[in-house]
Every structure is written in C-alpha cells, then in structure tokens.
Amino acid sequence: MTKKKYRKKRTMKGKIYSVLLTTLFVGVAFLLGMWAERSNVSANWIESSASEIYKYIQSLELPFNKKDIDENIAEMHFFDMGQGASTLLQAKDGTTILIDTGRYDADKTKIINYLNDEIGIGGKIDLLIFTHNDADHIGNGDAVLDYFQVKEVWMNGMDHTTQTYSEVLDAMLETDVDYKEPKAGEKLDIGDVSIEVYNPSLEVKNATQNDASLVTRLSVGETALIQSGDISSQVEGRLIEEYNNKLQSDIMILGHHGSNTSTSEEWLETVAPEVAVYQAGVENHYGHPHIETIKKVTDRSVALYGTDRHGTIQINIRQNNQLEILTEEEN
C-alpha cells in the first residue's frame, strides 16, 4: 500500500470562500464605479483599475482550488453533527454516497447546508446508507430524502418505534426511492466506489439495533474506509473470525462514537487503519469518546480526529493515493 502523507489545515468551505471573494470583487467594482462617476475619470482608467483589483483578489489563497480538486480521486466529509453521525463520500466520477444523516434534535438546515455546499443545491445522492435506525443516525433523514435526489436507500431491516423512524419511512414512500436491506457478503460497485457488506448477517432477529448495524467497507482506487455503525466488540470479534484481513482499511470510523463498548484491540489490529475518525458532540453526556478508546487508538500511532475537537473533517484521496486531511478547527 502506498505510504500516506498527512497535512492538516484550518479551512473554510472552498465554495463559500469563493462566493465571498466574488461578492467582494463586485462590491469593490460598484464602489469604484460610483467614485469614478463623481470624479469624472476615464473609462480606460476604470477598466485598468478593476482589472488590477480582480487579479489581486484572484491571487488570494483559497482553501481549495481547481488544481486541488482535479488531483483528488475522492473526498470524504465527516460532518460535525454534534452527537450524531453523517459522512459523505464523493468520487471524482460524480458518485455520491451518504452514510447516516445526524441526530433527530439537530437543526435540519445544518445537514442540508453541508450537502448543498458539497453536492450542489438539491443535488444527487446515489446511495444513502442508514447504518441502523437509532435517532442519532437517521435524524434529518426525511429532510434529506425530501430535498435531495436520492436514488437508493439501505437499511438494516430492523424496525424501530420512534417518530423519527416513522418520518423517514414516510419520506421514502413519498419519494419512491429504491430500497434494499443488504446482508453480509454482498458486494456492489457504484461508479468508482466498491462497497463490501460485512454486517448484518442473515440471522439478525435477536440482535439489538446497534449490533445489527450495517458494516461496510468502501474503497476508491487503493484506499478504503470502513465504518461499523454502533456494533459492539462482540460483533467485531465475529467479523474478525469471518473476514480477517479483508477488513483492512486505511481509514476507520470508530464504532459507537468512540464508546468503550466498541473498537477492541483485536479490531484495531485487524483493520490496521492509518487514520481514525469519530463523530461526537462537545461535552456530550455519554462521555464519548471514552478515554480507553482514545488510548487504544493513539497507542498504535493512528492519527485520530474527532468532530468535537476538529469540527467537520475532510479527507482527500489524491491521485497518488496519499491522504490529505483538512479540519474546520485546529486542535
């Protein structure tokens, strides 16, 4: 596997920043025109001055520029949804996969705005994976289904009693998306993204919502991300027995928001990630991520990032299969 390089940046959203610069130029040009009209200067002078101002604004360093985007074969966005989970994978060919949609009590506009920035207003989502039906993973799911062009939805096949779950089901019926309950062993290619399903098994009747979480490994080129929803270390052990080195991935989302009920030593050793990410709220009352989990990860010299400390996290997979990591906050 190609050696990865890590580069941390404090960043604003590139698209928003670009819009701000454009707005700045328009504003300056307007004021320049007003002043020129009153000062009775030549049109050539106005044109020359506007050109110089435009060149200066264009020279300002952007967090992301066209060259950076062209060099990425995929981007992963781990959205800061508080004590909820939501991850977006975008491949260069336009394939878009969203894993979970955040927590039920979060402002719906937050996930909508995140996605608008990355896939365009009301854009296309090829696959929406709900890892399981707890309200901190399917919250805002109805809004995403209503607002974006979702082609297919995956769920674990276990019903829930919450209003949030009912609202998601209603939105799925209204939008008439394709629906699937994949099982362990299934594989699917969507554009440049290959997906392997490791959980749930065919027999999930006695499992909890957490242990029936969809566990998937998504790979683009030579780089792979594994996410395990909220499965416990017991399920991790079963998956190790069944799949062993097939689980190896460059990037891991820590199970259950970094809880000590997940991410066993054996799981870390088998997956052998170079980067680990968890999604948790600042000072959440669950205590996520638990200190035991942090220690297990850092003791293995795995680069660790969390939305409670870094805000939204972006990992770019470059043409040479190196990783570039950008964070909303430096910590």
Q: What is the mean pLDDT of residues 98-107?
A: 93
Clarify whether residues 148 and 247 are in a common domain: yes
Residue 202 pLDDT: 82
Q: What is the mean pLDDT of residues 127-146?
A: 95
Q: What is the mean pLDDT of residues 206-225?
A: 93
Domain contains 5: no
DSSP per residue over 59-109, as a string? HSPPSS-HHHHHHEEEEEEE---SSS--EEEEETTS-EEEE----TTS-HH
pLDDT at 4 over 50: no
Residue 26 pLDDT: 61
Clarify whether residues 272 and 182 are in a common domain: yes
Q: How far apart are CA 221 and CA 315, in angstroms?
A: 15
Residue 17 pLDDT: 47
Clarify whether residues 186 and 271 are in a common domain: yes
Split at pLDDT 50, 70, 90, the class of 2 is very low
Q: How far apart are CA 229 and CA 297, in angstroms?
A: 17
Dihedral, CA of residue 116, residue 119, residue 121 and residue 127, to nearest 10: -100
Clarify whether residues 41 and 104 are in a common domain: no
pLDDT in tens, 319-329: 888 999 999 98
> Among residues 146, 168, 150, which one has the least CA distance to residue 159?
168
pLDDT in tens, 183-197: 999 999 999 999 999
Clarify whether residues 51 and 85 are in a common domain: no
Q: How far apart are CA 100 and CA 68, in angstroms?
A: 27
Residue 330 pLDDT: 79
Average pLDDT, the chain: 86
Q: How far apart are CA 108 and CA 121, in angstroms?
A: 15
Q: How far apart are CA 164 and CA 186, in angstroms?
A: 28
Clarify whether residues 122 and 54 are in a common domain: no
Quote the domain boundaries for residue 96: 68-327
Residue 20 pLDDT: 53
> Among residues 307, 309, 305, 311, which one has the least CA distance to residue 324?
305
Q: How far apart are CA 133 and CA 157, in angstroms?
A: 9
Domain with residue 186: its CATH number is 3.60.15.10
Clarify whether residues 53 and 167 are in a common domain: no
Residue 134 has φ and ψ, to the nearest 5°, of -70, 150
Clarify whether residues 23 and 108 are in a common domain: no
Residue 6 pLDDT: 45
Residue 10 pLDDT: 42
Clarify whether residues 76 and 127 are in a common domain: yes
Clarify whether residues 46 and 108 are in a common domain: no
Q: Quote the tokens at residue 99.
A: 């894993």
pLDDT in tens, 17-57: 445 555 565 666 666 666 666 666 666 666 676 667 655 65
Split at pLDDT 50, 70, 90, the class of 61 is very low
SS3 state of residue 208: coil
Q: What is the mean pLDDT of residues 108-131?
A: 95
31 versus 125: the higher-pLDDT residue is 125
Work out how many domains the chain is built from and give that number. Answer: 2
User: Looking at the DSSP assignment, which residues form a beta bridge with residue 153?
Assistant: 128, 179
Split at pLDDT 50, 70, 90, the class of 3 is very low
**Cβ atoms of 129 and 97 closer than 8 Å:** yes
pTM value? 0.81
Split at pLDDT 50, 70, 90, the class of 115 is very high
